[in-house]
Amino acid sequence: MQAKAIILTALMVVGLSSTAIASNPAEPASAPAVNNTITGVVLDKTTGESLTGVEVRVEGTDLRTYTDFDGKFVFENVKAGEYKVLANYISYGINETKPIKLNSNELHALNLQMETLDK
């Protein structure tokens, strides 16, 4: 009888300990996920053709990429804030967007048209 009481007491202690650990995790809660995306395409303003290899960057950040064969680019997980997107390509002028305001969980699609410098 006394052995049963000791075993029952031990099980209760283990049960209470695991409940306390589960309700008070040692690690802090992680920051909310950032799901902001800026995407777009870069085209020649005169011909409408897509431009491959254009450097595209988000001003005020380290975010930088190049357009693919279809002139498309994507920036994912951009922090909320206000940004300009700049496109730079050899023999074309720099294209700068108006400020874009990103809130939580937004997608911004841009259509950037670039003009050649000889005009």
Domain span at 60: 37-114
* CATH number (domain holding residue 101): 2.60.40.1120
**pLDDT tens string 7-62:** 545 555 555 444 444 455 555 555 555 689 999 999 999 999 999 999 999 999 99
**pTM, full prediction:** 0.69
Q: Under a CB-based contact definition with an 8 Å cutoff, are residues 59 and 98 in contact?
A: no
**pLDDT tens string 87-113:** 999 999 899 999 999 988 889 999 999
DSSP helix/strand/coil, 44: strand
Q: Is residue 56 situated within a structural domain?
A: yes
